[in-house]
Amino acid sequence: MGQGTGEVHRCARASEGLSDRQEDIWQPLFAVAALAGGDWPERARAAYIESIEKALPMLGTEYDYLNGPVLLRVSQDLTPTQAKGYQRALAKLKV
C-alpha cells in the first residue's frame, strides 16, 4: 500500500450515505484529492460538506448555547423559537 492509500479510504468513507449519483460524483474527487496530498483532501471534504449544506439547508442549522462549562448544541429541524426554549432551560441550570 502506498502512503496515500489510507487517505483515499478515509475520503471514501466520507461519502457514505450519499445517493448513488452523488457518490458517483464525489468518490473520484475524494480519491484524486487524496492522491494529490497537501491540503487537497481537507479542501475536498470542505467542498462536499458545503454542497450538502446548500442542498439541505436544515442540515446546516445549529444553535450553540453556553452556560459556564456546559455547551448545549441544538440542531436539526428546530425553528429559532424552539431553539430559544432550550436556551432558556439551559440558563436555568445551576452549574
Model confidence pTM above 0.75: no
Measure the CA–CA gap between 51 and 55, rounded to whole angstroms.
6
Domains of the chain by residue range = 5-57, 61-92
> What does the pLDDT profile of the chain (95 residues) look like in tens digits?
344 444 444 444 444 556 777 778 888 999 999 999 998 998 888 888 777 766 665 555 677 788 888 888 777 677 778 888 888 888 898 87
CB burial of 53-87 (b: ≥16 within 10 Å; e: otherwise) equals: eeeeeeeebeeebeeeeeebebeeebeeeebeeee
Model pLDDT, residue 67: 81
Model pLDDT, residue 18: 60
